[in-house]
Chain A
Amino acid sequence: MTERLRVRVDPDKCQGHARCKALAPELFELDEYGNAHEAGDGIVPPGLEDKAWLARSNCPEIAIDVIEE
């Protein structure tokens, strides 16, 4: 049974370092201030799991969750 991943950015923690957008541009978007939010519903398409974990482990504000569903 394959697990599905979902990414989520905590808007209260995000300070706009933009590491997630640089490392996983398919999974994150930035607003006009450069603060991040997950793209669409945050579901990680197959093949991008590694990028989701990479974004999580490089966020200086620990603002990214990767949820295994």
Chain B
Amino acid sequence: MSDVSQPAAHPPVTDWVNDFDHTDPQWTDDPFPIWEELRATSPVVHTERFLGCYMPTTYEAVREIANDTEHFSSRRIIVRDVRPEVARNAAPPITSDPPVHKPAKQLLLPPFTPDAMKKLEPRMRAICNELIDGFIADGKVDAAARYSKYIPVQAIAHMLGIPESDSDLFINWIHMILELGIKDETKLLQAVQEMSAYFRTHIEARRSKPTDDLISYLMNAKDKEGQPLEESHVLGSLRLLLIAGIDTTWSAIGSSLWHLARTPADRERLIAEPALIPTAVEELLRAYSPVTMAREVVKETTVSGCPVKAGNMVLLSFPAANRDPKMFPDADKVVIDRRENRHAAFGLGIHRCVGSNLARMEMQVALEEWLKRIPDFRLDPAGTVTWSQGTVRGPRQLPFLLGRAM
């Protein structure tokens, strides 16, 4: 069942400033020097690839675009090789523009407040410890494949009321949509159809046997006129919660563990001062922000003085913004006790990530439980760290040796 295929390759990039490609292996492995080069050239760069695509390189330019819903539409949120017609209710509210965005967003916000997340925390601690139980005696582990991957998928499955045992199915769909789908339309469509069919079965089951999970919550939700949501809206939001809930936080937890494996001083400090973990999580989110969203230019305008033309996509790189030295002193250093940290890892403006409180809680719990039980770990020199491609960046293979080095 599992589709472990790799996305197709584009011609390699030789001119990053005028011909960038966020799916190039060089970018996937180490994007940070590339962003620096682009930022040094212009606040907004352009490539002819992906049918024409801009990328803001500074925090200011990213903020400008994120707050400008008149010239930039969210109907397309992934930069891809093709641009077919988009379905209405693709994944509301992330694919919605004003004025329909706000009611769709408000519907999803109450189940994701910090207080709601506190209630979920004990279950998250149990999930983390069950996962650690599965490998701690082995002395080595792929921390991406056996730890960071399963924390968010089990959390969102728990909230949606779908079986945690279907996790590998969900992870495969996400891979097909967010990575393979950039270059292969059929993979994306197949995953969307399979997800919709899956959720339809669960919706049907709840008609006779209502539950208190997010599927029932959306089925029972009413719009402003007091009418139930259209089925396409319910399905779109369910797909969004599953897509957005998985490899984003998988990536954030994985990158954090990757950093701590390579930085014993930070690891030792967090073990000695666990109260610093929430602050460190913010810094790890800034330094290794997983998510790059996209917008479509729908009206010609300028961004930080640079003209942008309608019909092009925009790679709205929150990760690059978070490395802007004008915004963050020592932007390329991880400073785990950084006090002033206005990072944009969860987006800016109306599309702020609905699940940000969930992601923060998962990251804190995942690091706390790991450090409590596995204070010593390092990268396995015999293994290879690999990174995902495209929309969400995080380690997909993270080979660790556990315990004190011999």
Contact = CB atoms under 8 A, between A and B. Distances in A.
Given A16-B352, A33-B113, A57 B344 contact: no
B339 A54 contact: yes
A32 to B, nearest CB: 5
Contacts of A15: 348-350, 352
B114 A18 contact: yes
A33 B114 contact: no
Contacts of B109: 16, 32-34
Interface string B335-358: 000011111101011101000110
B113 A30 contact: yes
B161 interface: no
A39 B255 CA distance: 36
A54 B282 CA distance: 13
Interface residues of A, number: 17
Interface in A18-41: 18, 21-22, 30, 32-34
A62 B342 CA distance: 8
B70 to A, nearest CB: 16
Interface string A45-59: 000000000100111
Given A16-B352, A17-B346, A34 B340 contact: no
B110 interface: yes
Interface of A: 15-18, 21-22, 30, 32-34, 54, 57-62
8 contacts: A17-B352, A30-B115, A57-B339, A57-B340, A57-B342, A60-B346, A60-B348, A61-B348
